Amino acid sequence: MSSRRGSATRCMPWRMIVRTTLQLAIGMGLGLAGAVAVSRLMAVILFAVRPHDPTVFGGVAGTLVLAGILASAISALRATRVDPLSAPRAE
């Protein structure tokens, strides 16, 4: 039984990261679709950038996805170091 518990502990960070990545992909798809739709309205206030510039869209999307995955990985690794029996007592 102890080997099973250790296995679950090692898999937990990856499960959290995969789940977060899926949520990020859904959010990024919806966000990019909304950004393309709104970019025509924002064309008035953009300077030296085309409204549908793929470099800007890709750079912003990549930065947000990287930040989301990094935040998920850090919190998942910290969660594996907490003793499940002592966590409720601390609150």
Give the pLDDT of residue 41: 82
Residue 16 · residue 79 · CB < 8 Å: yes
79 CB-near residues (< 8 Å, 6+ apart): 12, 13, 16
Q: Give the H or E element holding residue 69.
A: helix 54-80
- Residue-by-residue pLDDT tens, the chain, 91 positions: 444 555 566 677 788 888 888 999 999 999 989 988 888 888 788 777 777 888 888 898 999 999 999 998 898 888 888 777 776 776 6
Residue 28 · residue 64 · CB < 8 Å: yes
Average pLDDT taken over every residue of the chain: 81
pTM of the model: 0.69
